[in-house]
Amino acid sequence: MTSIEVKQNQDTACVNLHGVYYRELNTRLAELVNQGVRSLELNNACGQRYIGTSLKGDLKITINGTPGNDLGAFMDGPSITVNGNVQDCCGNTLNNGCIVVHGHGGDIFGMSARGGKLFVRDYVGYRAGIHMKAYQDKKPSLVIGNTAQDFLGEYMAGGVLVVLGLGLGENETHKANFIGTGMHGGVIYMSGKVEEHQLGKEVAIAELDETDWKTLRPLIDEFALHFGYNAEEIAARPFYKLYPKYLRPYGRMYAY
């Protein structure tokens, strides 16, 4: 078994992930948190999966490098900052907490999130926000700085998905197709053009009203704070919203 290099100073720990297998790592991180560590710096991350999964409560984690798949899966409380890109399935079924990615995200980013917040500076791969959901006060938010690839918000059932379109030219169109396919809950706020054919059949498009801005503006402010943007400039961009035409699109399919 690999011995893990840890430098601990009161409630702060610095962990070297070089050559460390994810299971040993995640066991060790849980031990550190049990000992009262509240701030973790993880260096040389390289493909270790499920970081943050089993950790709870008020805890700050900074990851330098490339963490593995399912970063923060099922996570319940901690805040993760990644200096680098994240791989597939980041924030899988996130319950509570925050993940901030200073880079781009892989496929199925924020899959099935049911609470918490996800911010990614650049773009995300296929199927970001697939089947995000919401219940009463649990309402996940996913904010993407640049753009997304196909099937953004697929089968989305709740929560808020934001695409800021930063970096797109004035008349440049998002390239994603099948946006909101199967969407039946939640809302997508977008800036940057899309054509009708890029949208899923279940999606309608509308302008934002005051209530929408009450949801969107704090997310823009938080995004700007994380990545050093000017929130006013982002908020001044033209936005539109995508919402599901039907809350139960297939409700009658098997009924008679």
Partner 1 sequence: MRDLTRVSNSHSDSKVIDACSLFGMMDTSGGRFSGADLITAIGSMHDRGNGLGGGFSAYGIYPDFADDYAFHIMFLSQQAKTETECFLESSFNLKHKEEVPTRDQQGITNPPIVWRYFASVSPEKCGKFIEEDYVVDRVMYINTCINDAFVFSSGKNMGVFKGVGYPEDIGRFFRLEEYEGYLWTTHGRFPTNTKGWWGGAHPFCLLDWTVVHNGEISSYGINKRFLEQYGYKCTMETDTEVVAYAVDLLMRKHGLSVGMAAKVLAAPLWNQIARLPEHERKIMTTLRQIYGGLLLNGPFTIIVAHTGEMIGMTDRIRLRPMVVGEYRSKLFISSEESAIRLIQPELDKVWLPVGGEPVVGSLQNPIKVQKEATAC
Q: How far is the CB of 32 from partner 1 (least distance, A)?
A: 20
Q: Which is nearer to partner 1, 85 or 112 (CB)?
A: 85
Q: Which is nearer to partner 1, 45 or 134 (CB)?
A: 45
Binds partner 1 by CB under 8 A, chosen from 53, 79, 141, 149: 149
Binding footprint of partner 1, residue count (CB under 8 A): 30
Query: Cα dihedral angle (56, 142, 213, 170), rounded to 10 degrees?
Result: 150
Say if CB 159 and CB 207 are below 8 A apart.
Answer: no
Say if CB 140 and CB 113 are below 8 A apart.
Answer: yes
Residue 244, strand partner residues: 203
202 binds partner 1 (CB under 8 A): no
Q: Which is nearer to partner 1, 126 or 155 (CB)?
A: 126
Binds partner 1 by CB under 8 A, chosen from 7, 31, 47, 233: 47
Q: How far is the CB of 126 from partner 1 (least distance, A)?
A: 5
d(CA 140, CA 118): 8
- Residue 41 tokens read as 């710096």
Q: What is the DSSP string of 181-238?
A: TT--EEEEEEESB--GGGB-TTEEEE---HHHHHHHHHHHHHHHHHHT--HHHHHTS-
Q: How far is the CB of 180 from partner 1 (least distance, A)?
A: 15
Kindly list the distances between the CA atom of residue 65 and the CA atoms of 5, 36, 84, 109, 188, in Å, as whole numbers in the listed order: 16, 25, 6, 18, 30
**2: DSSP letter:** P
- Tell me which residues in 226-245 interact with partner 1 (CB under 8 A): none
Q: Which is nearer to partner 1, 125 or 185 (CB)?
A: 125
Binds partner 1 by CB under 8 A, chosen from 92, 110, 123, 188: 123
Residues lying near partner 1 in the complex (CB under 8 A):
23, 45-47, 49, 65-69, 85, 87-88, 104, 106-107, 122-123, 125-126, 146-147, 149-151, 167, 175, 177-178, 197
